[in-house]
């Protein structure tokens, strides 16, 4: 029997304290950190981040200081710094893509399925909480976590390299390479929409967390393998290259790296051939937005039709 049929009506009174969606989001976010799998993956991410931060320091900061001490001038010009940063971001985020997929699975698998299994969802909805507030709170958990893995590292590296430019050139370098910021933001938006939509869709379908983990892992990682294989084929292969969510999320940064390095060293023809294997960022983001819309619809529908035990 639906909640509405048992006497539930949308709450129309005055709200007190924090909004309901924020409370659900805050509790879900703090609960994610209690998962040991989440902590292990987070530790691996920190190690990967520090390794590439140190690599950037030796590439730009330390080398520039040595050049200034020995010759009085820095050898890194603005073009080479941007090109090397794009290549570094491509390698960094390609490695993080696997960890991001695992984080999405561990955190997203229980977004709604855990509440269905423990019958906590009916307890939410018999209180003055609307279905959309419940789903909104759940939908914000994963993007908040992906801010740490998909958005902030790239922006930090961008600012770091900018600060290592010769005196007086920091602001001009930062302003002249805003395309790097655009690619990092595109990477975050694609990852946040794709993974949130997928996990909401699957988590709302069953109360079995294990089943959600198995299906989502198959979709994410098997899809990535399929996209890498099919991308080299003509016709259908060019469509199937969008089947892998991790590949879609890093496509903007990967295309920047190819444009900055391969096109310079080996010419336009070779660069265009490599770019044809990499998904278009705009299309990848549209797929992510579509997944998010489908996931939100499925979750709201499930929350609106959940049964209440007597």
- The whole-angstrom separation of Cα 88 and Cα 208 is 40
Give the pLDDT score at 6.
43
- The whole-angstrom separation of Cα 210 and Cα 113 is 10
Give the pLDDT score at 259.
76
Give the pLDDT score at 308.
42
What are the Cα distances from residue 118, in Å, to 193, 295, 309?
27, 21, 12
Query: Which residues, other chains included, contact 29 with Cβ-Cβ below 8 Å and sequence gap of 6+?
Result: 141, 144, 145
Which residues of the chain fall short of a pLDDT of 50? Answer: 1-9, 11, 66, 69-70, 72-76, 308-310
Letter string b/e over residues 249-261, b meaning 16 or more CB atoms within 10 A of that residue's CB: bbbbbbbbbbbbb
Give the pLDDT score at 16.
58
Give the pLDDT score at 143.
96
Give the pLDDT score at 300.
92
Give the pLDDT score at 189.
96
β-bridge mates for residue 2, sequence order: 307
What are the Cα distances from residue 275, in Å, to 180, 253, 269?
17, 12, 10
């Amino acid at each position: 029997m639906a909640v509405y049929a048992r006497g539930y009506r949308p709450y129309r009174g005055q709200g007190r304290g924090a909004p309901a969606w924020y409370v659900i989001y805050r509790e879900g976010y703090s609960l994610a950190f209690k998962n040991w799998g989440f902590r292990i993956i987070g530790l691996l991410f920190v190690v990967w981040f520090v390794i590439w931060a140190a690599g950037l320091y030796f590439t730009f900061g330390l080398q520039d200081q040595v050049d200034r001490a020995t010759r009085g001038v820095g050898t890194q010009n603005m073009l080479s710094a941007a090109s090397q940063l794009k290549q570094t971001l491509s390698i960094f985020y390609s490695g993080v893509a696997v960890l991001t997929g695992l984080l999405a699975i561990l955190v997203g698998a229980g977004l709604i399925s855990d509440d269905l299994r423990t019958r906590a969802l009916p307890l939410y909805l018999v209180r003055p909480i609307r279905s959309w507030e419940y789903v909104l709170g759940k939908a914000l958990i994963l993007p908040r976590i992906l801010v740490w893995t998909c958005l902030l590292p790239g922006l930090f590296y961008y600012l770091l390299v900018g600060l290592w430019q010769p005196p007086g050139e920091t602001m001009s370098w930062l302003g002249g390479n805003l395309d790097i910021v655009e690619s990092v933001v595109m990477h975050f938006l694609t990852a946040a929409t794709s993974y949130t939509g997928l996990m909401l869709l699957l988590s709302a379908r069953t109360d079995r967390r294990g089943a959600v983990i198995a299906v989502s892992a198959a979709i994410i990682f098997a899809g990535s393998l399929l996209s890498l294989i099919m991308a080299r084929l003509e016709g259908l292969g060019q469509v199937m290259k969008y089947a892998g969510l991790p590949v879609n999320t890093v496509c903007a940064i990967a295309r920047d790296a190819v444009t900055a390095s391969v096109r310079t060293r080996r010419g336009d023809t070779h660069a265009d051939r490599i770019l044809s294997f990499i998904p278009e960022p705009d299309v990848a983001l549209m797929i992510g937005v579509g997944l998010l819309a489908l996931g939100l619809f499925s979750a709201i529908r499930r929350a609106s039709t959940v049964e209440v035990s007597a």
